[in-house]
Amino acid sequence: MAEVIAVTGKGGVGKTTVAALVVRALVEAGSGAVLAVDADPNLNLDTALGVTAAETVGDVREAGLDRSVELPGGMAKAQFLELRIQQALVEAKGFDLLAMGRPEGPGCYCFANSILRACVDQLGKQYRYVVVDCEAGLEHLSRRTAGDVEVLILLSDPSVRSLDTVKRVLDLVNELDTKVGKTAFAFTRVADGVPEVLKAAARERDLPEPMAIPEDLEVRELDVNGRPLTDVGENSPAYQAVKALLREAGVLEG
C-alpha cells in the first residue's frame, strides 16, 4: 500500500513548491516509485516538476458523462474511465504525475466520481509513495477524496492569521475521522528560524512544534524563469529544510 503524503495550507504558502521538493527528495532517496497528484484545479505542480499534464481526471470525468462519446466495443463505462486515467498519467524520470483538474460542475457526477476514486485508489497501489499537492481550500479533505494519510504536512506563512487555517485543517481531520499517521508543521519563507511569538501562537492552538522552511533565492529564481523546482541544488536551504521535515516525519532516514 502506498504511503500518502499530503501537503496542505492556505493559498500562497508554498504548497506546490514544498510538494515538488518532497517528490525530488523521495526520488533522490530511491526508496520506491513515486506518484505526484496535483489536487489543485489551477494545475501548478506539473510545471514545478518540469512536465506537462495534457489531460486531467476532471477531463476524464466529463468524457465519461458525455453520451456522444462512443465506448470501444464491449468495454464497460468503468473500464473506459480506468483506461482514460491511465492515459492521463504523465510518466517522467523517477516519478509519475496525475492531475485531478477542475471540481464537479452542475451535473450529477456521483456515478463517475465513485468510479474515478476507485480507479485512483487502485492506481496508487502501484507506488511506494503518493504525494498530494492539495488545493488552497479543504475540498479534498472535506470530501475525503484524499483517503487515509500517512504524513500530513501543514504549511503556514509567518503570520498568526495563517495559523488559524492550519488549526481548521486539523479540526476538520478530527471531525471526519480521517486517519493520519504523522503530522508535520512548518512555517515557510522565514528568514532566521521560527520567531518565538509564532511558536507561542502555535502552542496556544495545540499545533505541532513548528519547523522552518526558509526563503530561498535559488528556488525563487527557478520559479521566475519557469524552470522546474526540482533543478534546485542539493545545498538549497529550502530543499534541505524539506528533507529535514521528512526525516522528522519518519519518511526519510536520518
Looking up residue 56, the CATH number of its domain turns out to be 3.40.50.300
pLDDT of residue 115: 61
Can you tell me the distance from the alpha carbon of 128 to that of 9, in angstroms, rounded to the nearest whole number?
Answer: 24
pLDDT of residue 148: 78
Residue 155 domain boundaries: 3-248
Whether 117 is in a domain gets the answer: yes
Is residue 48 within 8 A of residue 19, CB to CB? The reply is yes
Whether 135 is in a domain gets the answer: yes
Total-model pTM: 0.89
The DSSP H or E segment spanning 95 is: strand 95-99
DSSP state of 173: H
- With cell 503556514, the residue in question is 156
Whether 39 is in a domain gets the answer: yes
| Residue 45 identity (one-letter amino acid) | L
Whether 253 is in a domain gets the answer: no
Whether 254 is in a domain gets the answer: no
Whether 218 is in a domain gets the answer: yes
- With cell 470530501, the residue in question is 143
Can you tell me the distance from the alpha carbon of 249 to that of 181, in angstroms, rounded to the nearest whole number?
Answer: 9
Helix 196-204 vs helix 160-176: crossing angle, to nearest 10: 30
Whether 56 is in a domain gets the answer: yes
DSSP state of 207: P
Q: Where are the alpha helices (DSSP H) in 45-89?
A: 45-48, 57-65, 77-88
Is residue 31 within 8 A of residue 158, CB to CB? The reply is no
Q: Based on the structure, what is the number of domains in the chain?
A: 1
Whether 110 is in a domain gets the answer: yes
| Residue 97 identity (one-letter amino acid) | L
pLDDT of residue 68: 53
pLDDT of residue 108: 47
Which residue ranges in the chain fall short of pLDDT 70? 63-74, 102-117, 119, 136-147, 177
